[in-house]
């Protein structure tokens, strides 16, 4: 199903795509270990690796997403989150029409880092870039909730003192938005970033917002589908040819200590797998 932004433009004549997929350069940014590579792997291969090796430099994958009026071929640059690779990031987000900035909902500092990336994209990225903020590792919070429900069913429900101890503070309404949201986070929960806090930030900055689980797949395809529908086709087509910057970024990355590929055009791009591009292609949406 097409995203609503794509439908909104249906009354206007669309530029011709010649029946071919249109390329969209998309970059993933975020702190190390928030699950960026796992999100991409889930989208591209519908797979999850429990012990994923950290990305070195950047990795490159592709996947197609079919909407009602067009087929988007995402060219995805998954960047390393370690601080020592920060200086390479502009090579990857340059000319990108879309970006996913990820944080870990069980680590509050990762949202601060995500906000820093968003400011950088807004300042230096493509003027029409579509940015999605995603809170990953939702499965960890859901497992908390299941455990809490199990424990609650076997305990007494008549302990007023215990009820008072877990109630939302009376002054939550007078707290700042982030503090009020965090007041609703159970002290026993792994969640450190309230959904309300991150969602409010996304709305203030005109971002798409999702909570995802690369492990279960929840929300992952929706992220890419909504991004695909949000980008005006005119912007995509006007950007044709500019995505060669990605190839230059890959070459520069190899010279900066990133993982090396071959030297044959497209094949020189860095990949998370040894599969060829044809095998990676498909429609996950």
Which tens digit of pLDDT belongs to each residue from 176-229?
555 555 555 655 689 999 999 999 999 999 999 999 999 999 999 999 999 999
Q: What is the pLDDT of residue 276?
A: 40
Burial of 248 (0-12, 13-18, 19+ CB in 10 A): exposed
Residue 172 lies in a domain: no
Residue 16's pLDDT is what? 54
Q: Strands 71-79 and 58-66, how do they pair? A: antiparallel
Q: What is the pLDDT of residue 107?
A: 98
Q: Which two tokens stand for residue 55?
A: 């990305």
Q: Tell me the mean pLDDT in the region 29-44.
A: 98
pLDDT tens profile 72-101: 999 999 999 998 999 999 999 999 999 999
- What is the value of pTM for the model shown? 0.71
High-pLDDT (> 90) share of the chain, %: 53
- Span 236-241, average pLDDT: 62
Closest-CA residue to 26 (of 246, 237, 205): 246
Contacts of 186 (CB under 8 A, 6+ apart): 144, 148, 166
Residue 222 lies in a domain: yes
- Determine, yes or no, domain membership for 163: no
The pLDDT tens digits of the residues spanning 106-116 come to 999 999 999 99
Q: Is 175 domain-assigned?
A: no
* Residue 171 is assigned to a structural domain of this protein: no
When comparing pLDDT for 2 and 260, which is higher? 2
pLDDT for 131 equals 99
Reported as a pLDDT band with limits 50, 70 and 90, residue 239 is low
Residue 177 lies in a domain: no
pLDDT of residue 194: 98
Of 232 and 13, more confident: 232
Is 78 in a helix, a strand, or coil? strand
Strands of the sheet containing 98-104, edge to edge, are 58-66, 71-79, 22-30, 98-104, 130-136, 208-211
Q: Are 85 and 35 in contact (CB under 8 A)?
A: no
Other beta carbons within 10 Å of 173? 9
Q: Would 29 be classed as within a structural domain?
A: yes
User: What does the block give as tokens for 34?
Assistant: 């928030």
The pLDDT-based confidence of 45 (bands split at 50, 70, 90) is very high
Among 46-60, 149-163, 248-262, the range with the most confident prediction by mean pLDDT is 46-60
Give a three-class secondary structure readout of 190-242: CCCCCHHHHHHHHHHCCCEEEECCCCCCCCHHHHHHHHHHHCCHHHHHHCCCC
What is the rounded distance in angstroms from the CA atom of residue 137 to the CA atom of residue 52? 14
Per-residue pLDDT, 145: 61
Q: How much is the mean pLDDT over the chain?
A: 76
* Confidence band, pLDDT 50/70/90 cuts, at residue 280: very low
Q: Which residue has the tokens 């060669």?
A: 244
How confident is the model over 262-271, as pLDDT tens digits?
A: 333 333 334 3
Number of domains in the chain: 1
What local confidence, expressed as pLDDT, does residue 237 receive?
73
Is residue 247 pLDDT above 60, yes or no? Answer: no
For residue 245, what are the domain limits? 4-10+19-139+195-280
The CATH number assigned to the domain holding 26 equals: 3.40.50.300
| pLDDT in the model for residue 233 | 78
Residue 184 belongs to some domain of the structure: no
């Amino acid at each position: 199903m097409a995203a609503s932004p794509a439908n909104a433009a249906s009354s206007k004549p669309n530029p011709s795509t010649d029946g071919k997929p249109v390329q969209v350069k998309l970059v993933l940014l975020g702190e190390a270990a928030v699950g960026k590579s796992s999100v991409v792997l889930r989208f591209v291969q519908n797979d999850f690796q429990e012990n994923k090796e950290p990305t070195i430099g950047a990795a490159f994958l592709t996947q197609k997403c079919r909407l009602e009026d067009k087929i988007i071929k995402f060219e995805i640059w998954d960047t390393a989150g370690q601080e020592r690779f920060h200086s390479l990031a502009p090579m990857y987000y340059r000319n990108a029409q879309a970006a996913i900035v990820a944080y870990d909902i069980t680590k509050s500092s990762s949202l601060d880092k995500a906000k820093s990336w968003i400011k950088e994209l807004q300042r230096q990225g493509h003027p029409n870039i579509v940015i999605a903020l995603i809170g990953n590792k939702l499965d960890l919070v859901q497992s908390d909730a299941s455990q809490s429900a199990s424990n609650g069913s076997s305990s007494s429900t008549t302990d007023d003192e215990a009820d008072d101890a877990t109630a939302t503070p009376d002054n939550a309404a007078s707290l700042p938005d982030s503090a009020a949201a965090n007041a609703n986070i159970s002290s026993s929960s792994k969640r450190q970033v309230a959904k309300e806090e991150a969602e409010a930030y996304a709305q203030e900055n005109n971002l798409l917002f999702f909570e995802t689980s690369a492990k279960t797949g929840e929300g992952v395809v929706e992220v890419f589908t909504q991004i695909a529908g949000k980008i005006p086709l005119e912007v995509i087509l006007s950007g044709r040819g500019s995505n060669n910057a990605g190839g230059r970024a890959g070459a520069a990355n190899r010279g900066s200590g990133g993982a090396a590929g071959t030297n044959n055009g497209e094949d020189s791009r860095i990949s998370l797998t040894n599969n060829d591009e044809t095998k990676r292609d498909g429609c996950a949406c």
